[in-house]
Amino acid sequence: MFAVGDLVRRQQLEGDEAIEVCVAGLVDHAHAAFAEFLEDLEVGERSTDHDRHVISTPPRGRLSPSALADRVIEEDPLCQMWRVRRSNLRAGMGRPDEAIADARKAVELDPGFWVGWMDLGILLATRGQHEEVMDCAERAMAAAPWSPYSLGLMAAALATAGHAERAEPLLATLRGDSYGGPLGLAVYSLARGDHEAAAEWVVKTVDQRFPAAIPRVVRQFEPLLRSTAAWPRILQAAKLA
């Protein structure tokens, strides 16, 4: 079976381009089903058994998003991007340990996969497991030093380690970037445990229509953002309210 991971590698796509290719569902019926699940995740239909917007019941007679994600990975177990996408889903459903396990598997499948290192780092940081965060940040920065995800995570890792003076130039870069900066500062704030500040930056990120911001930021970190004062504005900006 043709694997999305092969497509990403053959076309040498990175970062958000790779995410967009995978989300598009350009392969067989299982991948198309997974793209439908991502569409439903963005729509944000309310679950009947969780007090959150993440879907856990199947709309329109389809399998649940979780079941669809499991099926796609069963059929394409070597694609690191599907592991990251399921990690995003599980984090948004309040299942952080499973989300971390999927992110770990993604970088095990492809040690050069910077998106996986970034996701693993921020998930560990939000759980207070800072021992590995610096290594994750360094790996993400080595592959994608231009990415606001990498910059935000590295700045947070440095600040947490007591190196605020080394974090400041990275933060200054993000503050000077009107497009990607809000995303990087949201990542930084989440990794530092400042959810209120993160939520304000997420509002700006969504307003900028940054690629994949809804599934990768709004939904993935919904359990942390729902209690913030800015949460209603996040939903409005994302047209989920």
Do 5 and 79 touch, CB atoms closer than 8 A?
A: yes
Percent of the chain with pLDDT over 90: 69
Q: Residue 47 above 90 pLDDT?
A: no
> What confidence score (pLDDT) does residue 64 get?
82
Q: Residue 19 above 50 pLDDT?
A: no
3-class state of residue 55 by DSSP: coil
> What confidence score (pLDDT) does residue 155 get?
98
Do 199 and 234 touch, CB atoms closer than 8 A?
A: yes
Q: Per-residue confidence at 18, pLDDT binned at 50, 70, 90?
A: very low
Q: Residue 56 above 50 pLDDT?
A: no
Distance separating alpha carbons of residues 187 and 191, to the nearest angstrom: 6
pLDDT tens profile 74-118: 999 999 999 999 999 999 999 999 999 999 999 999 999 999 999
Do 125 and 137 touch, CB atoms closer than 8 A?
A: no
Q: Which two tokens stand for residue 112?
A: 């050069």
CATH number assigned to the domain with residue range 4-237, chosen from the 4 options 1.25.40.10, 3.40.30.10, 3.30.70.420, 1.20.1260.10:
1.25.40.10
Q: Residue 28 above 50 pLDDT?
A: no
Q: Which two tokens stand for residue 224?
A: 């942390």
Q: Give the N- to C-terminal CA distance of the chain in Å, as an integer.
A: 39
Domain boundaries, the chain: 4-237
Q: What is the DSSP letter of 87?
A: H
Global confidence as pTM: 0.77
pLDDT tens profile 137-195: 999 999 999 999 999 999 999 999 999 999 999 999 999 999 999 999 999 999 999 99
Phi-psi map region of 43: left, alpha, beta (phi>0 left; psi -120 to 50 alpha): alpha
Distance separating alpha carbons of residues 122 and 157, to the nearest angstrom: 9
Closest CA to 230 of 215, 220, 218: 218
Do 9 and 17 touch, CB atoms closer than 8 A?
A: no
Distance separating alpha carbons of residues 113 and 198, to the nearest angstrom: 25
